[in-house]
A and B are shown apart, each in its own frame.
Chain A
Amino acid sequence: MAAISAFLGKHVLDFICGGAAATQPINRWAALAWGTPNSTGASELNTSIGYSRLTALFGAAASPAGSASITAAMTFGPFSSNQSILGINLFNGSPVNSSDQLLYGTLQTARTVAPGDSLVVAAGALTVTIA
């Protein structure tokens, strides 16, 4: 199953097929997950540990590769508690517990942060692909 929310899936199909107005997301915000995110739950971290969503800026999609990647690094933290991080979501707004989920996925390597740690997602390290 594609890692796209039902909300965005409808807008994408309407964008392609024109059966209804398709609203393009105005912004993209990256949101970290303590669990495995899916279309029914983002498993987003709590703000009490020094976490907040960050703006995700993407470059133009590559063709025929069919992918788009972030152009600027995102630095989450510093965190104030130990926390496992398994996944990442994209939302169309901020703060935590608001807005519409767009996409979700799991990290290639799960991370565990300790107090004082930051998690950096380097430019180019977050990629959206159409398979």
Chain B
Amino acid sequence: MPLTSFMEKRVLDFICGGASAAAPGGRWLNWATGSPDDSGDSVGPFSSRRSVTFSPANSPAGSVANSVAVSGATASAAATVRGWNLYESSVGGNRLAYGTLTVTLGCKSGNDNPAFSAAGLKMTIT
């Protein structure tokens, strides 16, 4: 489960108590045309971030998934979606986590709306 350095510190302070640790105020997703990593999000030409609602985490499985489909971002140019990023706000803010898709998505300009179905975005502690 790739967390950004920002979120890693928050999680460690949550666990260990060495500093205050506020939970993210929201979770917003955008699409990446590269493979995002801790140094960059490789954001593609999509209209806006989309709100993500997660279900309660499963225990002892140690996983969590989105409870509602995430969709609605329109491609402003043809692009191939290869990954995703999770942010704490709809604009600006800190990036929380990122990942690459198991299958890339080819999007046409102005028509296609990439989406995660409910339970399509899953994060696991490994």
A interface with B by C-beta (< 8 Å): 1-2, 4, 6-10, 12-20, 22, 24-25, 27-28, 39, 58-64, 66-68, 71, 102-103, 128, 130
B interface with A by C-beta (< 8 Å): 3, 5-19, 21, 23-24, 26-27, 38, 53-60, 62-64, 67, 96-97, 123, 125-126
Q: Which of B17, B19, B23, B126 has the most CB of A within 10 A?
A: B17
Given contacts A58-B17, A61-B18, contact A18 B27 (CB under 8 A): yes
Residue contacts A-B, CB under 8 angstroms, 10 given: A6-B59, A17-B123, A18-B24, A19-B67, A20-B57, A28-B17, A59-B18, A61-B16, A64-B8, A68-B13
Given contacts A12-B125, A64-B38, contact A58 B21 (CB under 8 A): no
Question: How far, in Å, is A27 (CB) from chain B's closest CB?
Answer: 8
A17 partner residues in chain B, CB cutoff 8 A: 27, 54, 57, 64, 123
Chain A residue at smallest Cβ distance from B62: A9
Chain A residue at smallest Cβ distance from B6: A63
A10 partner residues in chain B, CB cutoff 8 A: 56-59, 62
Question: How far, in Å, is B58 (CB) from chain A's closest CB?
Answer: 7
Question: How far, in Å, is A11 (CB) from chain B's closest CB?
Answer: 8
Q: Which of A13, A39, A58, A63 has the most CB of B within 10 A?
A: A13
Given contacts A13-B123, A15-B23, A24-B21, contact A103 B15 (CB under 8 A): yes
> In the assembly, what is the distance between CA of A25 and CA of B62, in Å?
18
Evaluate contact between A68 and B24: CB separation under 8 angstroms: no
A20 partner residues in chain B, CB cutoff 8 A: 56-57
Q: Which one of B18, B53, B62 lies within 8 Å of A68 (CB-CB)?
A: B18
> In the assembly, what is the distance between CA of A27 and CA of B5, in Å?
24
A6 partner residues in chain B, CB cutoff 8 A: 59-60, 62
A67 partner residues in chain B, CB cutoff 8 A: 12
B60 partner residues in chain A, CB cutoff 8 A: 6, 9, 39
Q: Which one of B5, B15, B54, B67 lies within 8 Å of A64 (CB-CB)?
A: B5
